[in-house]
Structure 1
Amino acid sequence: MRQSEPATYPSERRRRRRGLIAVGLAALFAVAVVTFVADRGALPTAADTAARTISEVQGTGAESPLVGSVVTVEGVVTADLRAGGFAGFYVQTAGSGGESDATPGASDAVFVYLGSGADPASTGATLGDLVRVTGPVSEHQGLTEITAATPGAIDVVPSGGVTPAATDLPDTAIDAEREALEGMLVHPAGTFRVSDSHELDQFGSLWLTAGPETPVTGTEQARPGPLAAAASEKNRARRLVLDDGSSARLNQGDEQPYFSGATVVRAGDTIVWPAQAWVLSYGFDDWRLQPATPIEVAGDPAPPTFAQTNPRPLGPPSVGGSVRAATFNVQNYFTTLSSDNPQARGAATPAQFRVQKSKIVSAINGLGADVVCLLEIENSIRLGEPIDTAVADLVGGLNAALGTPTWAFVPTPESLHDAAHTDFITTALIYKADAVTPVGPSVTRLPAAGLENTRAPIAQTFQMSDRTVTVVANHFKSKSGDGPDPSDGQGHSSAERVRQSRSLVALVGELQSASGSPDVLMLGDFNAYAEEDPILVLSEAGFVDLLHDLAPGEYTYLYDGEMGSLDHALATPSLAAAVSGAAVWSINSAEWAGRGYASGLADPASPFRSSDHDPVLVGISP
């Protein structure tokens, strides 16, 4: 029963897409618990009280047919969340549940709300007690409840009752199909995988997806429109939030209810359920599993464990070729500390920066690439430092780790030395000098009118053995923007990204003429999924989306519980014919953000969670 996370991810896309709403949502969450336990509005009253079964109160629809009535019900206390801040507990009809269902289509459990400020021990009722509850029926944020806030509204029945049994919750029961079990004891049956851990650090809740299929964002699978929307709606219907029974907001570094520093759990790993049952609840627009008591308050019930069905890769993928190129979003690599300059976007302290740098160095040196396109690296000139300060620092770290001057960087084109034409983050190209040789200076194309606030591409021609290849580093405008996302599912600023694609097509033609070679490789974060308009423009121009074609089912980014690829490697047809392979090195997107550089759980020597985007690797044959 927690509010959806205000999604304050540190990456450029997540920072800016939700940056404008993060403050509002943070403030909203600050009162969310108060809203849950206090703001029920005017409660209904009635002259007479009717004895009802809980199933009659629940009914067979999404809402109770008795809203506005005062009822008396009996049930066994199955989950007590008073100590967790939710001011109430769940009761279920004695003897109900299990394999038989005496009330098909109707739940036999309901939430009992005790009122704002209720003493956790005020009613005397405890787990396992049979209680008689009297109060008005209402719906609160989609959850049916009975308010028992007046003296004498709850009586413990001395004779007790038969303990309810848990009912199987199959992984095939999604969305509205769960309504008949609202508030009841359940035991998940089938496959439930971790789909997103981004709420864990703040709210103690973990997103799961029902069924074995990976949730893939709609516009990664289909063109924007009904088919893409249906795919995302299905993903949403399969979501199930594993909550911790508490309304307390966690701080970074707090002990988490489900993950620990000692055990690696990744998106795609499978839940191994303990023997005890959970209560199927609803709140803040999601179906939720609540423990019998808050996990952070009591040692029992025990949290589930996880089977590593999506284990960490042992090394980078094999893509063949004599030269390998990669794209890697380095998640705001800033040598300027954000504590020293509020316009910086990366590490806040020297200690954080050392961890960030060490992890990114480990990832790039471990990637096995000869040319790497970098995204979200500091544009030093915008912060009053010499041009290329940050990329030079990273190259220095790469070489220091190797013990030899292996890496070099492509200087930023002269036309981008004017800070007025640039963003606080930029693209960059680095390369191994013994593997490829730059030909001529780097090139860019300044944004056209109306695109002044977008990042310019940076291109460099290389001699790769017998092949002359021009590599273009791109970082398209993000999906952030004011108000709700556009209805086509492509996020804000799709038109601007389309214009950037068209500009890139024109630039590639110029680069081919200048180099005398048709071979061009476009790398980067295009902030567009495979079936969205900006990628369609490039595909219709004849470019080949290598990852989409050669590595189906591999994705670079996780957002709102859905996988997809914002990062692409597109090649001209002549170069695509020489590509030996393309793949994703899954070191970041599936990882818990709590292992990033700003956390005490970060491993400086590990490439895992060095960023929030996974690198893409491409092999090129002679």
Structure 2
Amino acid sequence: MANWGRRGAIVAAGLVIVALPAAPATAAEPARIAEIQGSTRISPLVDQSVTDVPGVVTAVRAFGAARGFWFQDPEPDGDPRTSEGLFVFTGERTPELRVGDSVAVSGQVTEYYPGEPEDALQSVTQLTDARWTVSARNVPLPAAETLRPHTVPESYAPEPGGSIEQLPLRPDRYALDYYESREGMRLRVADARVVGPTTQYDEFYLTSKPKQQPSARGGTVYTGYDEPNSGRLKITSLLPFAEHPFPRVNVADRIAGQTVGPLDYDQFGGYTLRATELGQPVSGGLTRERAKPQLPGELSVATYNVENLSAQDDQARFDDLARGITANLARPDIVALEEIQDDTGPADDGVVAADETLRKFTRAIAAAGGPEYKWRQIDPEDKADGGQPGGNIRVAFLYNPARVSFVDRPGGDATTATRVHTERGKPVLSHSPGRIDPGHPAWADTRKPLAGEFRFGGRTVFVVANHFSSKGGDQPMHGRIQPPERVSEQARVQQAAVVREFTEEILAVNPRANVVVAGDLNDFQFSDTLGELTGGGLRALVDELPENERYGYVFEGNSQVLDHMLVSAAPRRVSYDVVHVNAEFTEQTSDHDPQLLRMRPVGR
């Protein structure tokens, strides 16, 4: 029987169990856990009833709507493919059991799939409709298997070009097979480094492979689709939070001592150690970076996704972001902003203007000692650009009028495209600010790019601010389909083509034009999206960083690139950096790190 989880139906746990019609169960038979788990991802006894399955209770989940307990066979069968641990689902009923109880459990074998069917997540083998008897108390627990640097294979998953569910497990060759073969069993991680900070959901990621693609600041860098970093493991806690507050850790911190618990599978992050024992956090000393101020002849341009900023946010958040602009980014001359919401934020009230949001932000920057920035943006049509419902996010420009002037060419609005014209042999925009081909189907339900014409030191600089479509709908790298399908990439490749063609029009008029393309492109430096953009004479600056510095976002323990800055060939003395102030820290003003380039524009 397949159980599918649906998020949001039960607030306490974020999911609900829906039992789909099952084939009639066969007569109950005695079984051991290894026989139930089998040597593939799907139990050979699925839909069958089993009786008197022996084991020792190793952990109890006593909260939420997915309560139950894990138990483990103290007499393993010796087959490394067959797990000796199993979860017993009791719904909203807390099982009256204690760790160390020796039990015999009867119930029905099912496969629970978190999320929706189209999410292509893996299943968890479990017992439902369970009954049990306790034969002894305080029984020694089966020893936890320790994850050492060479325990988990480097190769992540078999790639049959479809489902891996029925493939025989090869735990000596593939990381996902190794984890599956230990589903429900006690695992131990000792003195491990944090590679993903504590989130609002009380979870963090550590690595059992400290030498696997280490970043310059202690994380694990995602360098390619074929290198997903198999040592990453999510950690949550089964301990009472009142007595054992969940640790607040940053990337590069260390979890000293032993972290022990049963291995589970979660829709948000994949294989997860549910800790019954948590090591102690030790600071790695990570600090937020500060950029050096630009020199008098240098133009500095930044890009910053400020994560759904609206006038409805409290002043403290504006102040924190303002300090980032002023101190950490060293007062850039131009800032391309992403995720500026309308003045009423997520309220779905027809408001699309963002003047109050931008006014509140620029005032906070000035109060923090920054420039008196001005802004330029175009209000979107209501609910036409995706993002948080009602928020009407858009891209926008801030600029320091003491150093940069904006060339205003009126007429740009939500549906009017700006064009590249020629005046006296030089490229100009028909509308500045102006949207790039906003009616193109590539921009359906997503943010339209904003082009602006600036003047710095008597030289023209074209800046394009972007926020491409999200990765929503892509299959997870830890799912049952391998390799996972990245369906969302098709839209971003089309969007990249539209932006590339626009920049090519500028460069066709003047091959030495100063062009900057910046923003949250929602894709990796090795993706087809970036390949499409760089095919038109633009340099992707992230490629010019050392490999262990190519990141500005942390997702499921992978330090990765989603935001980008690209520049045409003409500007001189181009320097670039990702300024790490958010993504590696549990305390964040945004989930993205800003980026900063400096250059000396050419021409007149």
Task: Tell me whether the two structures share a fold, i.e. TM-score over 0.5.
Answer: yes
The two structures have a TM-score, normalised by structure 1, of 0.68
Query: Is structure 2 residue 362 aligned with structure 1 residue 372?
Result: no
Report Cα offsets for 1:99-143 as digits up to 9, x if no partner. Answer: xx8554433333344x4564632xxx4322323334454444433
Question: 2:246: which partner in 1?
Answer: 258
The match for 2:453 is 460
Q: Name the aligned partner's letter for residue 326 of structure 1.
A: A
Alignment-mate amino acid for residue 366 of structure 2: N
Deviation at 1:588, TM superposition (A): 1.7
Query: Out of 382, 385, 394, which is 2:361 matched to?
Result: 394
Q: Is the 8 A contact 2:474 2:487 kept in 1?
A: no
Q: By percentage of residues, which structure has more strand? A: 2
Match 1:312 to one of 287, 291, 302: 287
Q: How far off its partner does 1:556 sit?
A: 2.2
Structure 2 residue 461 is the aligned partner of structure 1 residue 470: yes
Give the AA of the match of 2:189.
Answer: P
**CA drift at 1:616:** 0.8
Q: What corresponds to 1:582 in structure 2?
A: 576
Query: Following the alignment from structure 2 to structure 1, what is the Cα–Cα distance between the partners of residues 110 and 399?
Result: 64
Query: Which of these residues, 326, 329, 340, is aligned with residue 305 of structure 2?
Result: 329
Task: Give aligned-pair identity as a percent.
Answer: 23
Say if 1:512 and 1:194 are closer, same or farther in 2 by CA, change over 3 A.
same
Contact 1:241 1:289 in 2 (8 A): yes
Number of the residue aligned with 1:269: 252
- Partner SS, residue 407 of structure 1: coil
The residue type paired with residue 327 of structure 1 is T
Contact 2:190 2:255 in 1 (8 A): no
CA distance in 1, matches of 2:16, 2:379: 51
1:16-42 CA-to-partner distances (Å, cap 9, x unmatched) read xxxxxxxx7323777866528x88957
Name the residue aligned to 1:111.
87
2:316 alignment partner in structure 1: 355
- Cα deviation, 1:202-221, whole Å, max 9, x if unaligned, reads xx443445423359999984
What residue is the counterpart of 1:509 in the other structure? Answer: 507
Q: In the alignment, is the contact (CA less than 8 A) between 2:496 and 2:533 conserved in 1? A: no
Structure 1 position 450 matched with structure 2 position 440: yes
Corresponding letter in the other structure for 1:364: I
2:133 aligned with 1:149, yes or no?
Answer: no
Q: Secondary structure at the match of 2:452?
A: strand
Matched letter for residue 319 of structure 2: S
Q: Which amino acid aligns with 1:545?
A: A
Q: Quick one: distance in 1 between partners of 2:244 and 2:462?
A: 43
Q: Tell which deviates more after alignment, 356-365 or 563-572.
A: 563-572
Q: Aligned letter for 2:466?
A: H
What's 2:143 paired with? 165
* Counterparts in 2 of 1:276 and 1:573: CA distance versus 1, 3 Å: closer
Instruction: Name the counterpart of 1:555.
Output: 551
Letter in 1 for 2:307: Q
Higher relative contact order (CA 8 A, sep 6+): 1
Per-residue deviation at 1:362?
0.7
In structure 2, C-alpha distance between the alignment counterparts of 1:193 and 1:437, rounded to whole Å: 42
- The letter of the residue matching 1:311 is L
Which of 52, 61, 72 is residue 81 of structure 1 equivalent to? 61
Give the aligned CA root-mean-square deviation in angstroms: 4.5
**Cα distance change of structure 1 residues 616 and 30 upon mapping to structure 2, 3 Å threshold:** same
Give the 3 Å change call, closer, same or farther, for CA 63–317 of structure 1 in structure 2.
farther
Partner of 1:290: 274
CA distance in 2, matches of 1:379, 1:583: 30
Please show how residues 556-571 of structure 1 align to structure 2 within 5 Å: 556-571=552-567
Q: CA deviation at 1:197?
A: 4.4
- Unmatched runs of 5 consecutive residues or more in structure 2: 114-122, 153-174, 386-391, 410-431, 477-483
Q: Is 2:112–2:125's contact at 8 Å kept on the other side of the alignment?
A: yes
User: 1:532 and 1:392 mapped to 2: Cα distance?
Assistant: 36
Paired letter, 1:363: G
Contact 1:136 1:146 in 2 (8 A): yes
Match of 2:99 among 127, 151, 156: 127
Identify the match of residue 93 of structure 1 among 53, 73, 76.
Answer: 73
- Please tell me whether the aligned partners of residues 71 and 137 of structure 1 are also in contact (alpha carbons under 8 angstroms): no
Q: Following TM superposition, by how much is the alpha carbon of 1:393 offset from its aligned partner in structure 2, in angstroms? A: 4.0
Contact kept in structure 1, 2:353 and 2:379, CA below 8 Å = no
Question: Is the 8 Å Cα contact of residues 191 and 254 (structure 2) preserved in structure 1?
Answer: no
What secondary structure is seen at the aligned counterpart in 2 of 1:555? coil
Residue 243 of structure 1 aligns to a residue in which SS? Answer: strand
User: Which structure shows the higher helix fraction?
Assistant: 1
How many residues are aligned here?
514
- 1:470 is displaced (CA, Å) by 0.4
Task: Answer whether contact 1:193 1:211 (CA < 8 A) is retained.
Answer: no
Say whether 1:408 aligns with 2:370.
no
Q: Deviations over 1:58-105 (max 9, x none)?
A: 4444344444253423322222334665443233334x58xxx85544
What's the TM-score once normalised by structure 2's chain length?
A: 0.70
Distance in 1 between residues matched to 2:383 and 2:107, nearest whole Å:
65
Query: How far is the alpha carbon of 1:546 from its aligned partner?
Result: 1.8
**Aligned equivalents of 1:164 and 1:43: distance in 2?**
34
Contact 1:76 1:131 survives alignment (8 Å)? yes
